[in-house]
Amino acid sequence: MNYIDSGLKVVGTRPVRPDGVDKVTGRAMYSADTRVAGMLWAKILRSPHPHAKIVKIDTSKAKALPGVKAVVTGADFPDIPNEEAFVGEGPMNFRDLARNVMARDKALYEGHAVAAVAAITAEVAEQALALIDVTYDVLPHVIDVEAAMADNAPVLHEDMFTVGVEPKPTKPSNIAKVIKFKKGDIDAGFKDAEVIVGGRYTTQPVHQAYIEPHACLAQANADGQVTIWASSQGHFMIRAYTAKLLGMEMANIRVNPAEIGGGFGGKTLIYIEPVAVRLSQMSGKPVKIQMTREEVFRGTGPTSGAVVEVKLGAKRDGTIVAAQQVLKFQAGAFQGSPVGPGAMCGFALYDIPNIDVLGYDVVSNRPKVAAYRAPGAPITSFGVESALDELSTKLRMDPLALRQKNAAKNGTKTHYGPTHANIGFEQVLAVAAEHPHWKAPLKPGHGRGLACGFWFNIGGESTATVHVNEDGSVTIATGSPDIGGSRASMAMMVAEVLGVDVARVRATVADTASIGFTHLTGGSRVTFATGMAATQAAERVVDELKKRAAMIWEISPDAVEWKDGQAVPAGTNAGAFEPLDLAAIALRAARTGGPINAEISVNAQGAGAGFGAHICDVSVDKETGHVTIERYTAIQDVGKAIHPSYVEGQIQGGAAQGIGWALNEEYIYNDKGQMENPGFLDYRCPVASDLPMIEAVLVEVPNPRHPFGVRGVGEVPIIPPMAAIANAIRAATDVRVPDLPMSPPRVRAAIDKA
């Protein structure tokens, strides 16, 4: 059923979230908060070298330290064959994942795990780490993406030959993969162009910087059964990956989802769970691992840093006729950068006849990258949206009008294959054009920038259950970790279908043994896909409630209607009966067939793509190069906002992360290949005093493939900020800053150079 125009009572309101009180009183249990009696604490030894052969690891002294109960190295884990699976938002090679969790023959980045100790206290485990003697044969290393692509670069993987080039290379390379997308005839397009702009843009790796460091607790029993408590974006993901890496059956692993303290894509893979399980198996005791912030920075994945070359050709009237891009994405120590989506997203916003994109996935001696909010898209769009600004300047055309002239619409065929359907980019731009911020006169010294973003959004596999309790209250469960308010949106959709007050619907996240498979929380899929499962489960419960009422009234189920939370006779012909609400039907459940509930599993298709446009005013201190965000407005097609406050929150939070990416955040390496800023003092995330209010404008172009019109919202808002700010700086100073972050020294240097 479709509820989009059905006079919604719950959806679109702003109730307090079901898990709210736990989270404002300190009661919510995050991963690090779990404790069991007799548990050990484990610590991980990490390589100080960015690239080194591991010649020998002597753990005898560590094992002899009183209080140490188990020590593991790579040799204690199965050697996983080289095979690739598509999971989450990208490909996953389990051999790479295994070797990222614990190095085997080589350490590939500073911070790569090489051994772990479980002991009676964290202090003893820490002391034991110092007693592990690792003999390294230090190798030359490479950090920069273009240096890693050079012919003479130190090679990370002797068995890596570039995929996607003919003939197949005979020499190993750090270029894991080359990808190409072509549409039309790029040479003819540029020949036809009257104005051509080009630029080379660079971005730095940035960390998701979730405030909760990775943590888990694992208990292995003598019968082979394992229980894990962990926070992640997918407890089924933890189960699958841990089973794979340890050669176990999934049924022998039960993962309990702790509350998650932020992920943003960074908790879509595992680092510590197999280590904790292995240490628990060897010691016979529960084992807890809790990363320090420094470990999070050195040992877990940021998103790629990249080089983005863009060339655009247009007619004098602003019609873009040719667009070309070369993307060099660093993947970290193992292949798998988001260069694929990067190659798709930059030009997906525009209807351009001739497109050519070339992308490189490049390994170097840095932590393996992980997903980060719209993986790849912010990087590619920083280049494209900056170049579009150059084009509008050159054409003397309003940047918004230039985008409106070229905007993708329903029926536009993308350069990577699919044809856009049910998109709302034109509506977003129309709202931007009329927004008071866009029309407001600029204050002296300020500059205004505009940039846009596109993300596919995904659907996929989800399970939800709806239970009508004995008293007529309702509990629901899903397999989706609640990373930012999804319990609220699930409860609201179910309450809407059942026609009851949302406070009568309580939502939980069930563990891997208690609900059907659910793909991880990522790709902006939960409210869409898990929401679809929850809606359908509620509909099945309504069908059941109608059947029960029909039995009570001894009429045909077709003669019963569900209205405002009650069964009523469908018409005068059906008979005259007093309405039966949930409580009344639940009271008679035993006599009419037993408990009333439904579990629905879906593989949701038809996720609606999302588009956003951000407007940003900045001022620039020309003496220091410091950029102040003076005003910020983010406009986005959200399909339908189930709980508008949390949709706004996604947009505001995504924009803030993008502002950090734009202005401050970067990894600083010394010449030894070691990260020099692995803490929040020197890796500078935005704080409250760095930002203004961020106005989130919700444009609702319903997605017809979802019962409430939902489309994903979490990823689009991180895409436009970098270019919006660069374009605003350009407007304020006449200087283009093509390199991120646009930190004070870099902005000052760009001004000095101009």
Partner 1 sequence: MAKQYVSTTINGESAEYLCETQQTMLDVLRDVVGLTGAKEGCASGDCGACSILVDGRLVCSCLMLGVEAEGKSITTIEGIAEGDKLHPIQQKFLEHAALQCGFCTPGLIVAAKALLDENPNPTETEARYWLAGNLCRCTGYDKVIRAVMDAAAVMRGEAA
Q: Closest CB to partner 1 among 258 and 312? A: 258
Nearest approach in angstroms of CB 696 to partner 1 is 8
In the 3-class helix/strand/coil scheme, how is 642-676 assigned residue by residue?
CCHHHHHHHHHHHHHHHHHHHHCCCCCECCCCCEC
Q: Closest CB to partner 1 among 27 and 182? A: 27
539 contacts partner 1 (rule: CB under 8 A): no
469-488 residues in contact with partner 1 (CB under 8 A) are 483-485
Return d(Cα 744, Cα 736) in angstroms, integer.
14
Return d(Cα 672, Cα 109) in angstroms, integer.
11
Using the rule CB under 8 A, which residue among 213, 336, 459, 522 binds partner 1? 213
617 contacts partner 1 (rule: CB under 8 A): no
**Is residue 350 within 8 Å of residue 407, measured between CB atoms?**
yes
CA angle at residue 213 from 138 to 63, to 5 degrees? 55
Residue 701: Cβ-neighbour burial (10 angstroms; 0-12, 13-18, 19+): buried
Number of CB atoms found within 10 A of residue 598's CB = 18
508 contacts partner 1 (rule: CB under 8 A): no
**Is residue 678 within 8 Å of residue 614, measured between CB atoms?**
no
Using the rule CB under 8 A, which residue among 114, 260, 352, 458 binds partner 1? 260
Return d(Cα 452, Cα 607) in angstroms, integer.
20
**Which of 483, 491, 502 has its CA nearest to residue 466?**
491
295 contacts partner 1 (rule: CB under 8 A): no
Q: Closest CB to partner 1 among 461 and 695? A: 695
Q: What residues contact residue 16 under an 8 Å CB cut-off, 6+ apart?
A: none
**Is residue 622 within 8 Å of residue 733, measured between CB atoms?**
yes
Which range of residues in 83-91, 202-210, 363-371, 745-753 is near partner 1 by CB under 8 A?
202-210
67 contacts partner 1 (rule: CB under 8 A): no
Q: Closest CB to partner 1 among 79 and 676? A: 676
Using the rule CB under 8 A, which residue among 43, 487, 631, 643 binds partner 1? 643
Which range of residues in 101-109, 208-216, 240-248, 249-257 is near partner 1 by CB under 8 A?
208-216
6-35 residues in contact with partner 1 (CB under 8 A) are 14, 16-17, 19-30, 32-33
For the four alpha carbons of 147, 151, 155 and 161, in that order, the dihedral sign comes to positive
Site string for partner 1, 321-350 (x = CB under 8 A): ------------------------------
Q: What residues contact residue 450 under an 8 Å CB cut-off, 6+ apart?
A: 389, 399, 400, 403, 432, 438, 613, 614, 615, 616, 724, 727
Q: Closest CB to partner 1 among 409 and 443? A: 443
# binding residues, partner 1 (CB under 8 A): 60
Return d(Cα 468, Cα 456) in angstroms, integer.
36
Return d(Cα 267, Cα 271) in angstroms, integer.
9
Token digits of residue 210: 């979730």
**Is residue 484 within 8 Å of residue 425, measured between CB atoms?**
no
Site string for partner 1, 156-195 (x = CB under 8 A): ----------------------------------------
CA angle at residue 594 from 592 to 600, to 5 degrees? 115
555 contacts partner 1 (rule: CB under 8 A): no
**DSSP H or E stretch at residue 750:** helix 744-753
Residue with tokens 């890796």, as numbered in its chain: 683
301 contacts partner 1 (rule: CB under 8 A): no
Nearest approach in angstroms of CB 669 to partner 1 is 20
Which range of residues in 426-434, 531-539, 562-570, 641-649 is near partner 1 by CB under 8 A?
641-649
Nearest approach in angstroms of CB 93 to partner 1 is 29
Q: Closest CB to partner 1 among 477 and 694? A: 694
Could you tell me the CA-to-CA distances from 710 to 501, 528, 701 in Å, in that order?
21, 6, 9
Q: Closest CB to partner 1 among 30 and 438? A: 30
503 contacts partner 1 (rule: CB under 8 A): no
Return d(Cα 100, Cα 47) in angstroms, integer.
12
646 contacts partner 1 (rule: CB under 8 A): yes
**DSSP H or E stretch at residue 604:** strand 596-604
292 contacts partner 1 (rule: CB under 8 A): yes
Using the rule CB under 8 A, which residue among 73, 208, 414, 508 binds partner 1? 208
Q: Closest CB to partner 1 among 23 and 413? A: 23
37 contacts partner 1 (rule: CB under 8 A): no
Nearest approach in angstroms of CB 649 to partner 1 is 6
Using the rule CB under 8 A, which residue among 89, 110, 212, 637 binds partner 1? 212
Q: Closest CB to partner 1 among 208 and 324? A: 208
Sheet of strand 68-73: strand arrangement: 68-73, 113-119, 40-46, 287-290, 215-220, 226-230, 253-257
689 contacts partner 1 (rule: CB under 8 A): yes
268 contacts partner 1 (rule: CB under 8 A): no
Letter string b/e over residues 640-667, b meaning 16 or more CB atoms within 10 A of that residue's CB: bbbbbebbbbbbbbbbbbbbbbbbbbbb
319 contacts partner 1 (rule: CB under 8 A): no
Beta bridge partners of 569: 560
Using the rule CB under 8 A, which residue among 164, 184, 557, 649 binds partner 1? 649
748 contacts partner 1 (rule: CB under 8 A): no
Nearest approach in angstroms of CB 698 to partner 1 is 14
Could you tell me the CA-to-CA distances from 609 to 459, 528, 628 in Å, in that order?
11, 11, 32
126 contacts partner 1 (rule: CB under 8 A): no
Q: Closest CB to partner 1 among 346 and 717? A: 717
Nearest approach in angstroms of CB 447 to partner 1 is 21
Which range of residues in 154-162, 180-188, 457-465, 649-657 is near partner 1 by CB under 8 A?
649-657
Which of helix, strand or coil describes residue 457? coil
Site string for partner 1, 669-688 (x = CB under 8 A): ----------xxx---xxxx
Which of helix, strand or coil describes residue 460? strand
Q: Closest CB to partner 1 among 333 and 488? A: 488
Rule CB under 8 A: which residues touch partner 1?
14, 16-17, 19-30, 32-33, 208-213, 259-264, 290, 292-293, 483-485, 643, 645-646, 648-650, 652-657, 679-681, 685-691, 693-694, 696
